[in-house]
Copies of this chain bind each other. A is one copy, B any other.
């Protein structure tokens, strides 16, 4: 393989000096994303694996030139967005070059009449939301990572937002895109309201996690600012009963923007007060054009009360709205060497409560290093919902021990989810973390993903080890 020195020299000649970063601190900055396993291992003394160098292209043409060059030489490429991914999708290997999209951060155009906005991939979602808000629109997409995640990365990792029950997830919002294949070919999927011209090629890129090429432009659909809002919180006797209530109103055809059922442990942290017994907290928020939220709210209220819910007013919803993206505690614990991680899965209605109960009891019983496990459901559909577990575990201060404890939790949650007919991932993506379970998750469809990879990245240079497990 080509030496790093030659590589850096040739890439500087190809792209310009200032596009190629080689200083140790620059490499260190992109050596991890927000994968808790690696973060805690570093606290426990592990050295991060550094990439050979970092590229900061500013245009599609530069990305294309870089990819063609790197493919030709068989150098692995790891696309890097905001670094907010929690599954190690952007963690480089020692042989790889990191392609940092952060300098491609321009909002390119607003099509106000057709309600779309076109951006470079490195635009921060929060910046985009503010920008379209000022022009009378919303993106409708509010993941917790809104302040740090970049738009291209959100598409590549199959993002879901906190208001998804009404506005949908990223696959419902992506109107068109441009991407660069490893060969350097630039492909564009032109934005139209709907197209029946063969398989929808946008879907090759949603969830591709940098393994098929690099997304270099994104056109998103926009929504009107909602005219009205209704909100209400309820205490419900248990997660199982709360899930049954949500099932009932979802299957009656209601679609409130926020449907969030929080277990008593997490609710106590949110409210800074404990729920009586093991009551769960149900947060509902409906928004939309004039008249709708009131009608929807009244219907939801009747269904929740009928299911045993006790109204708690609007205050818990307001508290959640204020605190929903605050993750400072996460950083504190990580810095103390405590593993704090999240595991989100989804399943049909008939099995989702089983998953909640089995995970919270079995992991507690079987992993002695576990300090806490709690969770909520936050993305509901007519066919089922997700569960979002948050766990804390205190391993001995040793990278290998961190790894052992980490996988002992993950393996149990993945196994329980699969036993209950769920999917191992609702929206954080696969990264390097979940790749080992992908063949089993996809089952007989696994060869289709292998063939896609082979078709678009025959040299296997794109983000090796992410999404598809190493062979």
Contacts and interface: CB of A to CB of B under 8 A. Distances in A.
A194 B426 contact: yes
B200 A383 contact: no
Q: Within the oligomer, what is the number of copies of this chain?
A: 2
Given A169-B194, A192-B421, A197-B424, 5 more contacts: A115-B383, A192-B384, A193-B379, A199-B206, A199-B207
Interface string A434-471: 10001001111101110110111000000000011000
B193 A442 contact: no
Interface string A180-220: 00000111111111111111110111111101100000000
A202 to B, nearest CB: 8
Nearest to A190: B443
A267 to B, nearest CB: 23
Interface stretch (A91-99, A232-240, A286-294): A286-294
A145 to B, nearest CB: 14
Given A291-B295, A383-B193, A428-B196, A201 B171 contact: no
**Residue among A190, A199, A348 with max Cβ neighbours from chain B (10 Å):** A199
A408 interface: no
Given A200-B207, A290-B299, A291-B298, A195 B114 contact: no
**Residue among A196, A425, A426, A438 with max Cβ neighbours from chain B (10 Å):** A196
A157 interface: yes
A253 B175 CA distance: 17
A274 interface: no
Interface stretch (A221-229, A304-312, A324-332): A221-229
A217 to B, nearest CB: 12
Contacts of A346: 192-195
B187 A253 contact: no
A194 B115 CA distance: 26
Interface string A414-437: 000000011111111110001000
B199 A449 contact: yes
Nearest to A213: B448
Contacts of A299: 289-291
A333 interface: no
B208 A204 contact: no
Interface residues of A, number: 96
Interface of A: 111, 113-116, 157-158, 160, 169, 171, 175, 185-201, 203-209, 211-212, 221-224, 226-227, 251-254, 288-292, 295-296, 298-299, 346-350, 379-386, 421-430, 434, 438, 441-445, 447-449, 451-452, 454-456, 467-468
A270 B171 CA distance: 38
Contacts of A226: 253
B385 A193 contact: yes
A422 B158 CA distance: 27
B425 A381 contact: no
Contacts of A224: 251-253
B116 A288 contact: no
8 contacts: A114-B349, A193-B423, A195-B441, A196-B425, A198-B449, A199-B206, A201-B445, A452-B455
Contacts of A434: 197
B444 A186 contact: yes
A385 B423 CA distance: 35
A459 to B, nearest CB: 14
B198 A209 contact: yes
Contacts of A291: 295, 298-299
A424 B212 CA distance: 27
Contacts of A467: 198
B288 A204 contact: no
A349 B113 contact: yes
A382 B422 CA distance: 33
Contacts of A254: 289
Nearest to A170: B196
Nearest to A350: B113
